Structure 1
Amino acid sequence: MSFTSCQGQKKDEPTENTTEIYTYKSGDYNGIGKWYLGREIAHVMGFQGMEWLNRPEREKEENVSKLLENMDIQSDDVIADIGAGSGYHVFKMAPIAHEGEVYAVDIQEEMLAEMRRQLQNNGLDNVNLIKGYEQSVNLPENTIDKVLMVDVYHEFNYPLEMMLSIKKSLRPNAKVYLIEYRGEDRSIPIKTIHKMTEAQSIKEMEAAGFKLVKNIDNLPWQHCMVFEKS
């Protein structure tokens, strides 16, 4: 178990030449005024929202148990939870992948501190806490079997750079699970800028060299889109 950042890419190091791929204009009050492939990037939810991440009704609203079934986690899987937050999914996945490892990646020190506190109390020895950066997940190359991103991708300030960084960390045949509130469904009580459509998701993933394998349509409010390197 590690409480320090692993030696991956340098802080905010661009993975490829990605100049002139973003545009800037005013938009949604909850956006940052930066656009990527026609989508405005949302503000990052700060650590002040930690209580919402851990809300008791989350299982009912999101059916997290079903999401974990969708991931088909094996005992020796090496998994990366990108934007792990307070560790809601991390501490559910780690006991399943008990012979493997879970990398919990977040850019906020307060989130890492909360996961560190939980680790000191639960005895898990297969969780690694990783300080990520805006343009790098800071993971070792060719290491990860499965990547989980739950309602976080739409907040990446540098989505292309982040996906290219993730791609470098993946083993052959690795899977990326992109979980986002369905932008096609206006009835879902989430702000529009914090949702994504399947079509927009595919467009952005393809730009980074990924292809959609399937969209598992069994979660109450979210897409469960599975991507592989193309």
Structure 2
Amino acid sequence: MARSTALLACVLQRCRPAVFLLLGMLMPGPASHAQQTQSPPADDAEGNSQLADLAPAARERHEYMGRTIAPTMHFSGAGWLTRPTRDEEEEPLKLLNALPIKPGQTVCDFGCGNGFHSLQLAKRVGPSGLVYAIDIQPEMLELLRERTGPRGLENIKPVLATEQESGLPPATFDLVLMVDVYHELSSPAEVLAAVRKSLKPDGRLVLVEFREEDEEVPILPLHKMSQPQVVKELEANEFKLVAQFDRLPWQHVLQFTRSDSSQPAISLRPWRP
């Protein structure tokens, strides 16, 4: 209890936008684009009704392989994804520089939100490449379109996924990127099966998750994952670890291929502070 209290205090002091994000996930409700900054959505009757409607489904699928599944971030918290401090806090360009992204590739930003990473991916694959930007909330995709239009990026394809359809075409991707997304998937095994089918023979799935092992990361425990837990879940779904990157301030970066790919597996290198 003391540890949880201390961690919450850390969040309040060092990462106030994270609090707003979590409130946005816990209190879904309508919000205009003007409200999608760092403020939580209104706690109104309609929002509470929506939360009550979702509760039975959440209870049915609340755990996977001993891990509690976190709620999906609501679009009303999208401003947190483009907060001014994100570059300093997460160093996203360092992440992208560590990935095998080349011009002409077809890549996927799965759980793209308002397109924070989609825009950079589009620049890296270039006009001859393509970025599938997939999300389950149409409002997020609309925010993405509002950002891509003025930039003239025509190689981003927004795709609306559903509980029944992942939006991932088979044998298509050189790379599928999930940034702080995997821990929120309500059906991890089903999504991983779809991802596996969508990869080219040596295509990679890259999971980026806040470090559970690091108490200094100002994110609540429900929204963190440990390296061993990630690897356990991915290996159980016919993936193998082929690379890892440990130089981001807050996040693990673990790269996987299908278990039948030609790339050699590596042993997990435990994170050390």
> TM-score, normalising length from structure 2?
0.71
RMSD: 1.5
Match of 1:219 among 248, 253, 267: 248
1:9 corresponds to which residue?
none
**Corresponding pairs, count:** 201
Instruction: Report the Cα offset of residue 31 of structure 1.
Output: 9.1
Q: Aligned match of 2:113 in 41, 66, 85? A: 85
Tell which has more relative contact order, 1 or 2 (C-alpha 8 A, sep 6+): 1
Cα distance change, pair 33–107 in 1 and its aligned pair in 2 (3 A):
closer
Distance (whole Å) between structure 1 residues aligned to residue 61 and residue 197 of structure 2: 28
Distance, in Å, in 2 between the alignment partners of 1:225 and 1:75 is 22
Deviation of the 1:68 alpha carbon? 0.6
* Structure of larger gyration radius: 2
Match status 1:146 vs 2:194:
no
Point out where structure 2 has 5 or more consecutive residues left out of the alignment.
1-57, 260-273
3-state SS in 2 of match to 1:147: strand
Amino acid in structure 2 at the alignment position of 1:37? M
1:136 positional shift: 3.6
Q: Quick check: 1:40 aligned with 2:68? A: yes
List, as ranges, runs of 4+ consecutive aligned residues in structure 1 with deviation greater than 4 Å.
30-33
Residues 11-62 of structure 1 deviation map (CA, whole Å, 9 limit, x = unaligned): xxxxxxxxxxxxxxxxxxx998711000000011100111100001101111
Task: Please name the residue that 2:94 is paired with.
Answer: 66
* Preserved contact between residue 61 and residue 187 of structure 2 (Cα < 8 Å): no
Q: CA deviation at 1:73?
A: 1.3
> Which amino acid in the other structure matches residue 87 of structure 2?
E
| 1:138-162 C-alpha deviation (Å, 9 max, x unpaired) | 1211000001000011000001100
* Higher strand residue share: 1
The 3 A distance-change label for structure 1 pair 61 and 135 is farther
Amino acid paired to 2:121: M
2:198 to 158, 169, 174: 169
Whether the 8 Å contact between 2:104 and 2:130 is mirrored in structure 1 is yes
Q: Distance in 2 between matches of 1:35 and 1:147?
A: 24
Matches within 5 A, 1:127-146: 127-146=156-175
SS in 2 for 1:95: helix
Counterpart of 2:135 in structure 1: which amino acid? D
Question: Aligned partner of 1:126: which letter?
Answer: N
